[in-house]
Amino acid sequence: MSNEKVKQTSEIIIGTKQTVKALKSGIVQEVIVAKDANDRMTEQIVHLALEKGIRIEFADSRLKLGKAYGINVGAAAVAITG
């Protein structure tokens, strides 16, 4: 995940629950999942993304993913829209 991608992103949704909602509503273009996130937390996100043909990328860690998107805590998943 590059800083360039972060700069180009028009809208982001942070967190597993919000990402699942966005995937179900069909507004997501790409999902980023932290490699160190609990599989139970991210399993539904990965399944929905694969089912809908949405690109999935993996970040090295929850902390790096959170920091890349401007929060000071870890994030298990981020959805990119529009």
Q: Provide mean pLDDT across the span 73-82.
A: 93
Contact yes or no for 81/24 (Cβ under 8 A): no
Tens digit of each residue's pLDDT (9 = 90 or more) over 6-51: 445 579 999 999 999 999 999 999 999 999 999 998 999 999 999 9
- Domains, in order of start, for the chain: 12-81 (3.30.1330.30)
Would you state the pLDDT for residue 70?
A: 86
pTM: 0.84
What tokens does 20 get? 């699942």
Say how many residues make up the chain: 82
In the numeric block, which tokens belong to residue 25? 């509503």
Q: What's the whole-number mean pLDDT along residues 40-64?
A: 96
